[in-house]
A = this chain, B = another copy of it.
Amino acid sequence: MGQLVAQVEAGSAMVPPTGSPADQTTVRRSNLSLVLRYLSTRGPASRAAIAAETGLNKTTVSSLISELQARGLVTETGLQQAGAVGRPGRAISLDGATVGALGLEINVDYIATYGLDLTGRTLIDRRVGFDAMGSDVDRSLRQLSQVMGAALTDLDSAGLRVMGITVAVPGLVNVETGTVLYAPNLGWRNVPVAQRLADTAPTVPIPVSVDNDANLAALAEFTVGVAAGTPDLVYLTGEVGVGGGVISGGRLLRGGDGFAGEVGHLPVDPNGDRCGCGRTGCWETKVGLAALVRMAAPDHAYGRSDSGPVRVPEERLAEIERRQAAGDRRVEQALREIARWLGVGGAILVNLLNPRVIVLGGYFARFRGQLIADAQAELDRLVVAGPDARCLFVASELDFRAAAHGAAHVAVERVLTDPTMVAMLASEPSQPSWRRR
């Protein structure tokens, strides 16, 4: 778990609202969070060591540990190893293996699931092909609900209390209501995803939140990805749509309505192609996965009538990789063209946002070898601040799974920030955790 996220989120949790002092409850909650994060990033430690390194007094630390134990978040694991500061005491360690979170992503041609516990251990990481583009909203949501139910059953069997579910969607999301306002590549408008999932699975009282896929992927990169800890970064989804997630000053940039980062429709070529959004020359028409397939393997392009099973993006990409290996000039040319346009749009992002890193996700990462050098050259040529604002393109290591990763991490992060959201163990009945409120 990246330390910087911890810092940032802990920070925001500690800010009392205007007009209220740094009162007892706030301080208590933030100190619980402090100890829990300490154990989560540094590993097991004695009470004395925790007190010494956090600056909290020992009585306070003991009381905090007792509460975290009661919530099933930490445990005593025997004597701490010799050589530690102070007289040896029992070591306290994170017991997050019983508290978990679930991330889901629905995209044009797949549904991804990612489940993890508080220690960062991955329990579920899978993806199934699903033709969301060719399905209506009802069918897509039924499928999503089934996938969610199966994952919850698995996590429950593994003994996890699931504290939250987050769904990633490639579109504009009202995060407060969990409604997808517009997802052009899914054909969705005003879909109350959180509500609909709750309706289709009334036995699941776990809170469901919904967020933009690129935002969640950016959080995943910032937390566990290739640029973890970089406080200013942009993540680009490389799918049929191209979305952007912006981390600025260590915080996800959302904007007034939560719609920040709509990079796919940056106008980059007034003489370009018509975009799905109805405008002309959007960045997505230059660098999206559909553009690559159209240029490099037109017989496999999206939208063609296509019998047989749904293909996850990797299958289309495998075909392009095969042709590239066979020396197909069209593929080479298409990738060069895409690299150049990545640089053009990237320069807009750098001039406006001044990130240190642009993380290339999805198919961009798959073709890192063909894309990054050319894109970087074009970017460097176009950025106003020149070498003073050097921003590097790097390829994501999370592949097409970044958004689902991020979705699960968001829920985990909430627990680390406010451990009091996990109920005391004693007060809990013995039915499966996700059937309880």
Residues of A at the B interface (CB closer than 8 Å) are 3, 6-7, 10-12, 14-23, 27, 30-31, 34, 37-38, 53-56, 172, 181-182, 230-232, 244, 246, 248-249, 251, 253-271, 277, 279, 344, 347-349, 351-356, 382, 384-386, 388-389, 391
Q: Of A6, A11, A38, A384, which is in contact with the most chain B CB atoms at under 10 Å from its CB?
A: A384
- Across the interface, A262 reaches (CB within 8 A) one of B11, B54, B182, B352, namely B352
Contact A6 B18 (CB under 8 A): yes
Residues of B within 8 A of A232 (CB): 255-256
Chain B positions within 8 Å of A246 at CB level: 352
Chain B residue, CB-CB nearest to A31: B21
A277 / chain B contacts, CB cutoff of 8 Å: 384
Contact residue among B22, B172, B249, B356 (Cβ-Cβ distance under 8 Å from A14): B22
The answer for the CA separation of A248 and B254 in the assembled complex, in Å, is 8
Could you jot down 20 A-B contacts, CB within 8 Å?
A10-B15, A14-B16, A15-B15, A18-B37, A22-B30, A172-B389, A181-B385, A246-B352, A248-B260, A251-B251, A253-B353, A255-B354, A255-B355, A257-B389, A262-B351, A264-B384, A266-B351, A269-B270, A348-B352, A352-B353
Closest chain B residue to A351, Cβ basis: B262
**Which residues of B are found within 8 Å of A14, using beta-carbon distances?**
14-16, 22
A347 to B270, CA, bound (A): 14
Extra A-B contacts (10), CB below 8 Å, given A7-B18, A265-B351:
A14-B15, A19-B53, A19-B54, A20-B55, A182-B385, A230-B256, A256-B356, A259-B385, A267-B268, A349-B352
Taken together as a complex, chains A and B put the C-alpha atoms of A429 and B231 apart, in Å, by 44
A230 / chain B contacts, CB cutoff of 8 Å: 256
Complex CA gap A234/B11 in Å reads 25
- Given A347-B267, A348-B266, answer yes or no on A231-B248 (Cβ-Cβ < 8 Å): no
A355 CB contacts on chain B under 8 angstroms: 255-256
**Given contact pairs A248-B248, A256-B354, A385-B262, A270 touches B267 in the complex (Cβ within 8 A):** no
Q: Which residues of B contact A19 (CB under 8 A)?
A: 38, 53-55
In the bound assembly, the distance between CA atoms of A401 and B257 in angstroms comes to 30
CB distance from A341 to the nearest CB of B (A): 12
**Residue among B7, B37, B255, B388 making CB contact with A257, cutoff 8 Å:** B388
Contacts of A17 in B (CB 8 A): 7
Q: Which residue of B lies closest to A3 (CB)?
A: B18
Bound form: Cα–Cα A15–B26 in Å: 12
A27 near B18 with CB under 8 A, answer no
Measured CB to CB, the nearest residue on chain B to A230 is: B256
Knowing A20-B54, A23-B55, A347-B267, the reply to whether A254 touches B260 (Cβ < 8 A) is: no
Q: A384, B262: Cβ atoms under 8 Å?
A: yes
Note all chain B residues with C-beta closer than 8 A to A7.
Answer: 17-18
Q: How far is the CA of A391 from the CA of B259 in the complex (A)?
A: 12
CA distance A253 to B244 in the complex (A): 17
Find out whether the CB atom of B263 lies under 8 angstroms from the CB atom of A254.
Answer: no
Indicate which residue in B21, B265, B266, B385 contacts A172 across the interface (CB closer than 8 Å): B385
Given the contacts A265-B384, A388-B182, A22 and B27 also touching, CB distance less than 8 Å: yes
- Give, as a whole number of angstroms, the nearest-CB distance from A42 to chain B: 9
CB atoms of B16 and A257 under 8 A apart: no
- Whether A248 and B253, one on each chain, are in contact in the complex, defined by CB atoms closer than 8 angstroms, is yes
Query: A384 CB to closest chain B CB, in angstroms?
Result: 4
Chain B minimum-CB-distance residue to A357: B256
Tell whether, in the assembled complex, residue A263 and residue B352 are in contact, meaning their CB atoms are under 8 Å apart. yes
- Interface pairs A-B: 7 shortest CB-CB: A255-B354, A232-B256, A11-B15, A256-B356, A262-B351, A260-B354, A259-B354
How distant is the Cα of A23 from the Cα of B270 in the complex, in angstroms? 57
Give bound CA distance, A263 to B350, whole Å. Answer: 10
Tell me which residues across on chain B come within 8 A of A231, comparing CB atoms: 256
